[in-house]
């Protein structure tokens, strides 16, 4: 389970980092959070970058390939390789709520999986059964909800709804 958490976190961070490209906000990350990742994995892309860290592509690919190998990945697998978030939705949410200091990515079953009689049943790594619920929270640790009562979901599972063209059609990251 740690491998899927690591893989999904890396992929979700890639989507979230696209929302961090602007330097209009201030770095709201605490020193405790900044030191939570192993120092060997941290690499500051730019001293003016407001996002905490990144990892080299070869490290990301090593992590991704290890996960895919662990689930017996291949062309005919139904196991989840990645979840794809709409960057415009993330950007819109974060821009509308500058008080968000962190984003929590929570593993969840899809409503389709639950509504077909699988409430509370282990889905393993099955694509289409797992998703991430995304909720930002403020410096006080309180959730910042969309319109006061909603959070983000609608992750596209891969395989099932993977990109079919471009470098993102690969399971690993190409430079």
Residue 104 three-state SS: strand
Q: Is residue 161 part of a domain?
A: yes
Q: Name the stretches of the chain with pLDDT < 70.
A: 1-52, 74-77
- Res 156: pLDDT: 79
- Res 114: pLDDT: 93
Contacts of 118 (CB under 8 A, 6+ apart): 109, 129
Q: Is residue 175 part of a domain?
A: no
If one counts the domains in the chain, the total is 1
- Res 16: pLDDT: 42
- Res 39: pLDDT: 37
Structural domain span for residue 62: 2-169
- Res 71: pLDDT: 82
Q: Is residue 174 part of a domain?
A: no
Helix ranges (DSSP H) in the chain: 2-18, 31-34, 57-70, 87-96, 111-113
Q: Is residue 12 part of a domain?
A: yes
- Res 158: pLDDT: 79
- Res 115: pLDDT: 94
The first and second tokens of residue 69, run together, are: 């190998």
Q: Is residue 49 part of a domain?
A: yes
Q: Is residue 44 part of a domain?
A: yes
Q: Is residue 160 part of a domain?
A: yes
Q: Is residue 56 part of a domain?
A: yes
How many CB atoms sit inside 10 A of residue 31's CB?
A: 7
């Amino acid at each position: 389970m740690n491998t899927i958490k690591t893989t999904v976190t890396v992929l979700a961070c890639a989507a979230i980092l696209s929302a961090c490209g602007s330097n209009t906000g201030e770095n709201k990350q605490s020193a405790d959070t900044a030191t939570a990742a192993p120092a060997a994995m941290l690499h500051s892309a730019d001293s003016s970058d407001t996002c905490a860290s990144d990892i080299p592509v070869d490290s990301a690919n090593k992590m991704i390939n290890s996960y895919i190998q662990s689930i017996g990945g291949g062309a005919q697998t139904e196991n989840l390789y990645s979840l794809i978030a709409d960057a415009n939705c993330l950007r819109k949410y974060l821009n509308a709520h500058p008080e968000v200091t962190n984003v929590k990515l929570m593993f969840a079953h899809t409503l389709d999986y639950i509504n077909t009689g699988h409430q509370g049943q282990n889905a393993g790594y099955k694509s289409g059964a797992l998703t991430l619920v995304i909720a930002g929270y403020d410096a006080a640790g309180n959730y910042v909800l969309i319109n006061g009562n909603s959070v983000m979901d609608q992750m596209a599972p891969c395989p099932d709804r993977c990109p079919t063209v471009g470098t993102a059609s690969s399971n690993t990251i190409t430079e």
